[in-house]
Structure 1
Amino acid sequence: MQKNQTLSSLGLILLVAGQLLPQLDFSIVNVGLNVIGASLHANTAALVLIVALYGVSFASCIATGARLGDRFGRRKVFILGIAGFALASTLCAISHSISMMLLGRLAQGLFGALLMPQILATIHACLSGHKHNRAIGLYTAVAGLSVALGQMLGGYLISANFFGLGWRVAFLINLPVCVVIIALSFKLIPETRASQVSSMDFKGMGLFTTLLLSLLIPISMAEQWPLLWMLLILCVPLAYWLWQTQMHLEKNGEQPLLPPSLFAIKITRVGFLSESAVTFCYAGYLFVSALTLQQALHFSPRLSGDSFIALGVMFFVGSMLSRSLASKMSYFKSFALGALITLIGFITTAAMMHHYNSAITLTQLSLATGLVGFGNAFMLTSAFRIALSKVPLHQAGAASSALNTIQQGCFALGTAVAGACYSLFLTHGALNAIGQTLMVLCVILVLISLKVVRFKHQRQSDSDTVSSR
């Protein structure tokens, strides 16, 4: 396809720098949970919300961010997202109360959702052939390494305690990066728009956000459930209302947030379910592992961050290997293999923490976290391919947006559920709590994996039946 504008190497670097901002802030906060909680007098439920609310606003707005870029210009929306992210990061950095921090995290998620879709869209609009493939490779590599980079950078910045700012510098570091990106973007990033613009589904976005919060808040505050049951009960009518709204929009030729026609494709439903399980369990693992390392094993933020370097590196390695693996086995088998490796990583993490306690070393932890990163890479890439394998070409963009929305929503819910389990199990001690919480995540992952494998065998049986006729 002929491209109208060219994206230079420097422009690509700017886009990738913008990509890193929201991705790093997912993991930077994990290594600062203990010191942030102590500074803002936050309990475990509040720490869950610091992580999860970011995911809620990101999930709710990412599809709308893509459509805003298509309509008004991707460079404009990218720059708006960068500027807003800088302001939101400042709000987080100067927070003196948990409510102020939560507001800042919501804003970070919102502006992160504005800037992120513009990156791939600009690459697709400006590059082709070898340059396009190289840019996509750089994009996926950065995404894979961002967890390790975030944990490592966050741990270093907080432990270094620059200017006596402590954890606040982990947010303030975003400001100079944002200023440089904004200053150079007008010159180095070309402006592009879509030839056909989808309508805005603000109603769907609002209902989806309300539904997520109605799940998230009661789960996060599990100890106060008697007061929050009404919110949980609301989820049923909200889900029904959301589904009816999406069906109505699609019937009238508009583009809903979660197109019902995609869910009518069985293999796509299985792919969405697989993606949900991966993100849900991965987010929960990161949260409770980081919390246990800091609160129970008394790791410093820097040591806690370094504990997850192997996870990020092995995720990157697994992502690279998954391409060749896909040619040798089906996506379903690749997912099951990844799930098995991840389960071993979960169990190894809990067993090592319980056995070695505060004497555990980075090498021992790296074995466990590396397994989780490696297995998760196989699962994530396989789930993505399963979900999109039978999607009609004209719905590819809508399916990708829906997948991102589901993925980010499950990141928030996975953090909330793992945090709630951890809090409930704390009466038996922190090391028992992480063991029991990871067992809950293991059960969820096993059930979903069995569903995926069962679907694969069912497809094979159906194919054999047709062939024999």
Structure 2
Amino acid sequence: METKTQENSLPSGTSAATDRRRWIALAVLLTASFMDLVDATIVNIAIPSIQRGIGASFSAVQWITAGYALAFAVGLITGGRLGDIFGRKRIFLLGIGGFTLASLLCGIAADPGMLVASRVLQGTMAALMVPQVLSIIHVTFPAHERGKVFGMFGAVVGLGAVSGPLLGALLTQWNLLGLEWRPIFLINLPVGITGLVLGRRYITESTAPNALRLDLGGVVLATAGLLMLLYPITMGHENDWPVLGFVSMVASVPMLAVFVAYERHKKRKDGAPLVELSLFKVKSFAAGIGVQVAFSTTLGIFFLVWTLYMQIGLGWSPLHAGLTGLPFTVACSAAAGVSVQLFTPRFGSRRVLQTGAVLLALGALLYLWEADRYGTAIASWQMALPLIAMGGGMGLVFAPLTDAVLSGVPQQHAGSASGLINTTNQLGMALGLGVTSVVFFGAMDESLAPRAGGPEFVGAFSNAMGWVVAVLGAVFLLMFALPKQVRPHDDLTADGGEHPGAKPEPELAGA
């Protein structure tokens, strides 16, 4: 019989602390996260094959990549709240089932229009699936186990974020059954079906303890505001940065301000807003969200220019480029796996996070120096050291940051909080892509043919890496706003206070 969690403490007898089945549920959740992260990056490396296979224009190619990101970003907050209201397990299963179906439609797409529509559907389903992952973890595992769990989550996030290009290169180059690029989508089918079956059996259902209704007005305002901001950023370069795009970005600010005012009104009226604004009264959450946006911006800049630098600037094959990134992948996964379990308890979460930011910046500076020194003659082995430093730094940031942001969040708002975390992550990535149009494409003559443009691509890469280092400096400073050590608050109320009768915890010195 399925158990259902609605309170801040798990029911005795079926407690997650004694139920070993929760680890199978965790494996399903982490697999779903990995599948989403891989799918967000796996497409880029197969773009030339897609263009040849279905005759996609440059505009269609932009939408194949941007359609997923836009649908994902604008739906995340709503997806998180739907889990709070209708059940996190139910919405997760709906999301992973829809994601699997959309992957099948992408894999059998006969023309660019069908592929773009399927990618938008895929992003929408990911917006239902992904917020439930952190929510279910938050309500399934007790506070003393979450450090280990978030360490595992961080390792999977790091591995998924950087292994997409390598997996895409392998699947495209192998040309399985003569399907060329299509296996990059079809590979999701067995994974998704397995996750659907095991998730239905092993994940425990949970909802917010109060009966909530979906805030449709908030959905409309939030979606409009995010689209007005993200669409011009995502498509600006292709459209030569039209004036209307800048007008839309500026207008998104008052639109989002209206959204905030409406959410406050909604909270007073019936207590069921789309976004629980009281979350921002929790210091760890508010500061962590700011760090998340800035950090994701650096990733948005780096991953795109890194791929273009290797494949076009240096003329490497997709497989060569993918294999070059292995040191980054290994270092990121290893650092993420030990950061929460070993380093954070000993040195404090803020110190570990800042160490990660510094290590990332040092690796980027070393990479920049090598790119300038060796030019187009640089070899993969010469990139290994800076990539190890950058991967290790990224791993030290990923897992502790997630734990820090969610540490003070009441369980009844776990869905809304995880939706906001993922939304700000996508927002930061979109901002990074927008900055890339200026710091990378704007730093070279795009009319040059790729073969003649190697040195120009190297110069543009160096310029972009300089911006990565600058933003990482800002990330380091923002981290001073985070508490020195994570404090789990299982007894927090919706406004960030403690329930009457909750056992007080001593304040950490200097926190």
TM-score by length of 1: 0.83
Instruction: Look up the equivalent residue of 2:38 and give its one-letter code.
Output: L
The counterpart of 2:476, out of the listed 440, 445, 449, is 449
Match of 1:221 among 236, 239, 251: 236
Distance, in Å, in 2 between the alignment partners of 1:27 and 1:241 is 34
- The reply on whether 1:427 has 2:440 as its aligned counterpart is no
**Are the counterparts in 2 of residues 15 and 119 from structure 1 also a CA contact under 8 Å?**
yes
Measured after TM superposition, the shift of residue 233 of structure 1 is: 3.1
Cα distance in 1 between the residues matched to 2:477 and 2:139: 39
Q: Residue in 2 aligned with 1:259?
A: 276
The separation in 1 between residues aligned to 2:97 and 2:399, in whole angstroms, is: 31
The alpha-carbon deviation at position 228 of structure 1 amounts to 2.8
Match of residue 331 from structure 2: 314
Deviations 1:38-62 (A, max 9, x none): 655554x765654444333223323
Q: Structure 1 residue 156: deviation in Å?
A: 0.8
Equivalent position to 1:105, from 116, 119, 127: 119
Could you tell me how far apart the structure 2 residues matched to 1:263 and 1:185 are?
32
8 Å CA contact 2:84–2:416 kept in 1: the answer is no
CA 108–333 in structure 1, closer or farther in 2 if over 3 Å, else same: same
Question: 1:34/1:307 Cα in 2 relative to 1: closer, same or farther (>3 Å)?
Answer: farther
Relative to 1, partners in 2 of residues 1:399 and 1:90: Cα closer, same or farther, differing over 3 Å? closer
1:436 aligned to 2:449? no
Rounded Cα–Cα distance in structure 1 between residues aligned with 2:92 and 2:405: 27
| Residue equivalent to 1:369 | 387
Please give the per-residue CA displacement for 1:117-142, whole angstroms capped at 9, x wherever unaligned: 44455556666699988766544432
Map of 2:505 onto structure 1? none
Alignment partner of 2:165 out of 151, 154, 175 = 151
Q: Secondary structure at 1:224's aligned position in 2?
A: coil
Which range is displaced more, 190-199 or 439-448?
190-199
1:189 aligns with 2:202: yes
Tell me the secondary structure at the aligned position of residue 199 of structure 1: coil
Indicate how the Cα distance of structure 1 residues 312 and 238 shifts in structure 2: closer, same or farther if over 3 A, else same. same
Partner of 1:461: none
Count of equivalent residues? 456
> Which residue does the alignment assign to 2:155?
141
Aligned-partner residue type, residue 303 of structure 1: H
Q: % of aligned pairs identical? A: 28
The equivalent position to 1:231 in structure 2, one of 227, 248, 269, is 248
Match of 2:223 in 1: 209
Per-residue deviation, 1:281: 0.8
C-alpha deviation, 1:170, in angstroms: 0.6
Q: 1:104 to 1:358 in 2, by over 3 A?
A: farther
CA shift in 2, pair 1:410/1:101, >3 Å: farther
On the 8 A contact 1:73/1:191 being kept in 2, the answer is no
Cα pair distance change 1:154/1:341, threshold 3 Å: same
Q: CA deviation at 1:278?
A: 1.1
* Preserved contact between residue 85 and residue 213 of structure 2 (Cα < 8 Å): no
Residues 81 and 416 of structure 2 are in contact (CA less than 8 Å); yes or no, is this contact kept in structure 1? no
- Give unmatched runs, 5+ long, in structure 1: 458-466
Q: Note closer, same or farther for the CA distance 1:134–1:448 as it changes in structure 2 (3 Å cut).
A: closer
The residue that corresponds to 1:463 in the other structure is none
CA distance in 1, matches of 2:71, 2:154: 23
- Displacement after TM superposition at 1:392 (Å): 6.2
Work out whether residues 135 and 418 of structure 2, in 8 Å CA contact, stay in contact via their aligned partners in 1: no
Q: Which amino acid aligns with 2:477?
A: L
> What one-letter code is carried by the residue in structure 2 that aligns with 1:111?
M
Indicate conservation of the 8 Å contact 1:73/1:193, yes or no: yes
Aligned residue in 2 for 1:57? 71
The answer on 1:302 being equivalent to 2:319 is: yes
Contact 1:79 1:115 in 2 (8 A): yes
Q: 2:308 — aligned with what?
A: 291
The CA deviation string for residues 429-449 of structure 1, in whole angstroms up to 9 with x for no partner, is: 222222222222322232343
Q: Which residue of 2 aligns with 1:18?
A: 32
Structure-2 separation of matches of 1:440 and 1:290 = 17
The answer to which of 305-314 and 155-164 deviates more is 305-314
The one-letter amino acid paired with 2:461 is: I
**How has the CA–CA distance of structure 1 residues 416 and 299 changed in structure 2, closer, same or farther, with 3 Å as cutoff?**
same
CA shift at 1:358, angstroms? 4.5
Separation in structure 2 between the aligned mates of residue 38 and residue 414 of structure 1, nearest angstrom: 28
Range that drifts further, 328-337 or 145-154: 328-337
- CA distance in 1 between counterparts of 2:60 and 2:361 reads 28
C-alpha contact 1:216 1:416 (8 A) present in aligned 2: no
Partner of 1:165: 179
Q: Distance in 2 between the 1:317 and 1:286 partners?
A: 19
Offset at residue 452 of structure 1 (A): 3.6
Equivalences for residues 376-415 of structure 1 within 5 A: 376-388=394-406, 398-415=416-433
Equivalent residue for 2:434? 416
> For residue 460 of structure 1, what is the aligned residue in structure 2?
none
